[in-house]
Structure 1
Amino acid sequence: MELRDYVRILRQRWILIAVTVLLALAAASALTLTTTAQYQSTARLFVSTSESNTTDAYQGGLFSQQRITSYASLITGEEMARRVAEELDSDISPRALADQITATVEPETVVLEISVTDASADRARELTQTTAEVFTEYVTELETPPGQTTAPVKASITDRASAPGSPVSPQPVRNLGLALVLGLLLGVGIAVLRETLDTRIKSPRDLQEATGDAPALGHISYDKRTPKQPLLSSLDSHSPRAEAFRVLRTNVQFLNVDSAGRVFVVTSALPGEGKSTTACNLALALADGGFSVLLVEADLRRPKATGYFGLEPNVGVTTVLLGKVGFEDAVQEVSPRCALMASGPTPPNPSELLQSEAMHRLLTEARQRYDYVLVDVPPLLPVTDAAVLAAQADGALLVVRHNKTTSDQVEAAVDRLESVGAKLLGSITNMSPTSKRASGYGYGYGYGYAPDASTVVAEPTQGTSRGRRGGRRAAGSGGSTGRRAGGAGAPSEDPFGGPHRRHQPGEPERTAQAERPIAPDETAIEDALTVDPDGRNRPRRGR
Structure 2
Amino acid sequence: MEITDYLKIVRRRWAWIVVTTLVCAAAAVALTLVQTKEYASSARLFVSTSNLDDASALNQAGQFSQARVQSYADLVSSRELAQQVISDLHLSTTPADLSGQVKATVATNTVNLTLTATDPDPHQAQSIAQSYAEHLTDMVRQLETPPGKKQAPIKATIVDNASYSDAAVSPKPVRNIGLGVVLGLLIGFGLAVLRQTLDTRINSTDDLAEVTEAPVLGAITFDSDATKTPLVSDIESHSPRAEAFRVLRTNLQFIDVDSAQKIFVVTSAVPNEGKTSTATNLAISLAQAGVRTLLLESDLRRPKAHAQLQLDGAVGLTNLLVGKVSFPDAVQKHDASGLEFIAAGPVPPNPAELLQSHAMQDILDQLRKEYDVVIIDAPPLLPVTDAALLASRADGALLLVRHGNVTRDQVRHSLDRLAQVDAALVGVVINGVPGRNRKYGYGYGYGYAPDTAGQVDKG
TM-score (norm 1): 0.74
What does the per-residue CA deviation read over 1:262-321, in whole Å, with 9 as the maximum and x for residues that have no partner?
Answer: 321101122222211221222233334444333221111111112222332122222222
> What is aligned with 1:108?
109
- Of residues 408-417 and 390-399 in structure 1, the stretch that sits farther from structure 2 once superposed is 408-417
- Of residues 275-284 and 234-243 in structure 1, the stretch that sits farther from structure 2 once superposed is 234-243
> What is aligned with 1:267?
267
Q: Which whole-Å CA distance do the structure 1 matches of 2:387 and 2:297 have between them?
A: 12
Note closer, same or farther for the CA distance 1:88–1:384 as it changes in structure 2 (3 Å cut).
same
Contact 1:219 1:444 survives alignment (8 Å) = no
Q: Which whole-Å CA distance do the structure 1 matches of 2:417 and 2:12 have between them?
A: 33
Q: Map of 1:145-224 to 2, 5 A cutoff?
A: 145-210=146-211, 212-224=212-224
Contact 2:356 2:389 survives alignment (8 Å) = yes
> What is aligned with 1:292?
292
Q: Which whole-Å CA distance do the structure 2 matches of 1:200 and 1:278 have between them?
A: 20
> What is aligned with 1:493?
none
Note closer, same or farther for the CA distance 1:312–1:92 as it changes in structure 2 (3 Å cut).
closer
Contact 1:266 1:397 survives alignment (8 Å) = yes
1:330 paired with 2:318, answer no
As a proportion of its length, which structure holds more helix? 2
SS in 2 for 1:340: strand
Q: Which whole-Å CA distance do the structure 1 matches of 2:441 and 2:106 have between them?
A: 60
| Shift, 1:5, TM fit | 6.0
Note closer, same or farther for the CA distance 1:271–1:162 as it changes in structure 2 (3 Å cut).
same
Contact 2:244 2:453 survives alignment (8 Å) = no
SS in 1 for 2:347: coil
- Of residues 167-176 and 61-70 in structure 1, the stretch that sits farther from structure 2 once superposed is 167-176
Note closer, same or farther for the CA distance 1:165–1:337 as it changes in structure 2 (3 Å cut).
closer
Note closer, same or farther for the CA distance 1:447–1:435 as it changes in structure 2 (3 Å cut).
farther
Note closer, same or farther for the CA distance 1:220–1:440 as it changes in structure 2 (3 Å cut).
closer
Contact 1:100 1:117 survives alignment (8 Å) = yes
> What is aligned with 2:25?
25
Unmatched 5+ stretches in structure 2: 443-447
Q: Which whole-Å CA distance do the structure 1 matches of 2:453 and 2:371 have between them?
A: 32
Note closer, same or farther for the CA distance 1:312–1:163 as it changes in structure 2 (3 Å cut).
closer
| Shift, 1:109, TM fit | 0.6
> What is aligned with 2:400?
399
1:282 paired with 2:282, answer yes
**Identity percentage of aligned residues:** 52
SS in 2 for 1:162: coil
> What is aligned with 2:87?
86
**Paired residue type of 1:43:** A
Contact 1:216 1:427 survives alignment (8 Å) = yes
**Paired residue type of 1:330:** A
Q: Which whole-Å CA distance do the structure 1 matches of 2:397 and 2:357 have between them?
A: 19
Note closer, same or farther for the CA distance 1:90–1:431 as it changes in structure 2 (3 Å cut).
closer
Q: Which whole-Å CA distance do the structure 2 matches of 1:118 and 1:441 have between them?
A: 65
| Shift, 1:404, TM fit | 3.2
Contact 2:137 2:157 survives alignment (8 Å) = yes
Q: Which whole-Å CA distance do the structure 1 matches of 2:437 and 2:342 have between them?
A: 38
Unmatched 5+ stretches in structure 1: 451-511, 517-543
> What is aligned with 1:501?
none
> What is aligned with 2:388?
387
SS in 1 for 2:210: helix
> What is aligned with 1:523?
none
- Of residues 179-188 and 215-224 in structure 1, the stretch that sits farther from structure 2 once superposed is 179-188
Q: Which whole-Å CA distance do the structure 1 matches of 2:215 and 2:454 have between them?
A: 26
| Shift, 1:189, TM fit | 4.1
Note closer, same or farther for the CA distance 1:267–1:166 as it changes in structure 2 (3 Å cut).
same
Q: Which whole-Å CA distance do the structure 2 matches of 1:237 and 1:174 have between them?
A: 56
**Paired residue type of 1:292:** R
Contact 2:219 2:440 survives alignment (8 Å) = no
**Paired residue type of 2:80:** E
**Paired residue type of 1:22:** L
Q: Which whole-Å CA distance do the structure 2 matches of 1:124 and 1:225 have between them?
A: 68
> What is aligned with 1:310?
310
Q: Which whole-Å CA distance do the structure 2 matches of 1:448 and 1:294 have between them?
A: 25
| Shift, 1:15, TM fit | 4.9
Q: Map of 1:515-534 to 2, 5 A cutoff?
A: none
Q: Which whole-Å CA distance do the structure 1 matches of 2:82 and 2:419 have between them?
A: 80
> What is aligned with 1:349?
350
Q: Which whole-Å CA distance do the structure 2 matches of 1:153 and 1:270 have between them?
A: 88
SS in 2 for 1:84: helix
Q: Which whole-Å CA distance do the structure 2 matches of 1:440 and 1:115 have between them?
A: 63
| Shift, 1:377, TM fit | 0.7
TM-score (norm 2): 0.87
**Paired residue type of 1:382:** P
Count of aligned pairs: 451
> What is aligned with 2:37?
37
Larger Rg: 1
What does the per-residue CA deviation read over 1:396-425, in whole Å, with 9 as the maximum and x for residues that have no partner?
Answer: 101122343333432332233223332221
Q: Which whole-Å CA distance do the structure 2 matches of 1:90 and 1:421 have between them?
A: 89
Q: Which whole-Å CA distance do the structure 1 matches of 2:26 and 2:219 have between them?
A: 43
- Of residues 369-378 and 402-411 in structure 1, the stretch that sits farther from structure 2 once superposed is 402-411
Q: Which whole-Å CA distance do the structure 1 matches of 2:278 and 2:25 have between them?
A: 48
Q: Which whole-Å CA distance do the structure 2 matches of 1:45 and 1:191 have between them?
A: 54
**Paired residue type of 1:272:** N
Note closer, same or farther for the CA distance 1:108–1:351 as it changes in structure 2 (3 Å cut).
same
1:55 paired with 2:56, answer yes
Q: Which whole-Å CA distance do the structure 2 matches of 1:325 and 1:262 have between them?
A: 24
> What is aligned with 2:432?
431
Q: Which whole-Å CA distance do the structure 2 matches of 1:175 and 1:390 have between them?
A: 62
Q: Which whole-Å CA distance do the structure 2 matches of 1:102 and 1:24 have between them?
A: 31
- Of residues 188-197 and 71-80 in structure 1, the stretch that sits farther from structure 2 once superposed is 188-197
1:228 paired with 2:267, answer no
Q: Which whole-Å CA distance do the structure 2 matches of 1:435 and 1:249 have between them?
A: 21
Q: Which whole-Å CA distance do the structure 1 matches of 2:324 and 2:225 have between them?
A: 39
What does the per-residue CA deviation read over 1:53-85, in whole Å, with 9 as the maximum and x for residues that have no partner?
Answer: 221121111111122212211211223212322
Contact 1:80 1:135 survives alignment (8 Å) = yes
**Paired residue type of 1:254:** F
Q: Which whole-Å CA distance do the structure 1 matches of 2:427 and 2:410 have between them?
A: 16
> What is aligned with 2:361?
360
> What is aligned with 2:445?
none
Note closer, same or farther for the CA distance 1:51–1:31 as it changes in structure 2 (3 Å cut).
same
